[in-house]
């Protein structure tokens, strides 16, 4: 199989997606993602320094490319003498899996299409759901999801998880502060005094493998809770596309998945993964953080008391709250689809803020 040609096809779709949706990121968020993508495409190791000029030139070239591609449509993927729609993930992976590769395609926040191609580390089944563990990534877009759910199949991305951990390690060095970030890394033996190096990279690889299992349980929670709403939730999200309401609804669904009996927090408690608890709080952002103060407070107390009952109580409270919000959104959507988006903005989000 010609992996180089396959990679170029997928990379074109990655660039088209980025060209169409780069505006959905904040300026700061976009620059951080571009800098990271620059490192990846140039093969620069996370502990190696880059010059501002080198990154600036790469970004300028990428922006020019986006101007050329922003009006283009996604191309089909040619694999083993057959051609597939880029979202025919199952069919494409039927071929690639034999070659030790795994392909992912789906939609993220603001319905931004996301694509990647990686080495396949392993495949397993949990609760009848197929889970692919992806390793070294050959190509990806600006999106950085440690795990993805596509048509009932979970794709867990170790490489992406490690890069997210490198970002947090850089923050640890910059802040040098105590708190959840220091607590999370300390559970794995890493301190603010450690310097970026190849040794740290190896340590982060081990942490990434461990944390990937945790992220998988977010997706297991999502597929379990998703069965309650079926395809109606997707229609609801489409109604809210490109709005704060969409981010709110996604936050509710994520919180429901996290706090589910099949979800991430239950897995963390069951396996007493203190590092994962710390990283959960570190990565908890947006509406999830706003809606889940109970977990912040419980985790602060946990760092002193090491009482998993505090985390379990917070999980149950969070689930009850997320379930109530989800049911309310569904009820409002069924009542009046035309005014649904407006109502979410004016009657729900305005009160939260």
**pLDDT tens string 155-195:** 999 999 999 999 999 999 886 557 999 999 999 999 999 99
Give DSSP secondary structure letters for 246-310.
HHHHHHHHHHHHHHSTTSHHHHHHHHT-HHHHHHHHHH--HHHHHH-HHHHHHHHHHHHH--HHH
96: CB partners within 8 A, 6+ apart: 79, 102, 103, 120
Would the pLDDT of 65 be above 70?
yes
Give me the pLDDT at residue 127, please: 85
Give me the pLDDT at residue 284, please: 96
**pLDDT tens string 218-232:** 999 999 998 888 789
Neighbours of 48 (CB within 10 A): 11
Would the pLDDT of 152 be above 60?
yes
331: CB partners within 8 A, 6+ apart: none
Query: How far is the CA of 346 from the CAs of 8, 236, 339, 342, 350, in angstroms?
Result: 45, 17, 11, 6, 5
The region of weakest confidence among 149-153, 196-200, 314-318, 325-329 is: 149-153
**pLDDT tens string 236-272:** 999 998 889 999 999 999 999 999 999 999 999 999 9
If you average pLDDT over every residue of the chain, what do you get?
95
For the chain, the structural domain boundaries read: 3-144, 212-352
């Amino acid at each position: 199989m010609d992996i180089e040609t396959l990679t170029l096809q997928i990379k074109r779709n990655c660039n088209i997606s980025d060209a169409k949706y780069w505006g959905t990121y904040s300026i700061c968020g976009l620059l951080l993602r571009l800098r990271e993508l620059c490192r990846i495409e140039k093969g620069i190791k996370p502990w190696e320094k880059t010059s501002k000029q080198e990154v600036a030139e790469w970004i300028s070239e990428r922006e020019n490319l986006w101007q050329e591609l922003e009006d283009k449509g996604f191309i089909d993927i040619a694999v083993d003498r057959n051609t597939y729609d880029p979202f025919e993930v199952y069919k494409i992976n039927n071929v690639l899996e034999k070659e030790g590769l795994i392909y992912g395609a789906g939609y993220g926040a603001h319905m931004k299409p996301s694509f990647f191609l990686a080495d396949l580390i392993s495949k397993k089944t949990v609760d009848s759901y197929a889970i692919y563990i992806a390793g070294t990534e050959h190509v990806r877009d600006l999106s950085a999801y440690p795990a993805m759910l596509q048509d009932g199949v979970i794709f867990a991305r170790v490489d992406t998880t490690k890069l997210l951990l490198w970002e947090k390690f850089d923050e640890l060095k910059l802040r040098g502060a105590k708190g959840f970030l220091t607590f999370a890394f300390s559970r794995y033996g890493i301190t603010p005094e450690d310097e970026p190096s190849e040794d740290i990279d190896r340590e982060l690889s081990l942490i990434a493998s461990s944390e990937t299992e945790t992220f998988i349980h977010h997706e297991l929670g999502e597929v379990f809770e998703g069965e309650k709403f079926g395809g109606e939730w997707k229609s609801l999200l489409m109604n809210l596309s490109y709005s704060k309401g969409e981010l709110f609804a996604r936050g509710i669904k994520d919180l429901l998945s996290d706090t589910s009996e099949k979800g991430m927090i239950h897995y963390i408690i069951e396996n007493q993964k203190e590092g994962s608890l710390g990283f959960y709080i570190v990565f908890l952002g947006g509406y999830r953080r706003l809606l889940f103060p109970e977990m912040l407070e419980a985790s602060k107390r946990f760092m002193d008391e090491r009482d998993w009952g505090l985390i379990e109580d917070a999980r149950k409270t969070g689930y009850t709250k997320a379930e109530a919000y989800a049911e309310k959104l569904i009820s409002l959507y069924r009542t009046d689809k035309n005014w649904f988006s407006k109502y979410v903005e004016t009657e729900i989000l305005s009160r939260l803020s």
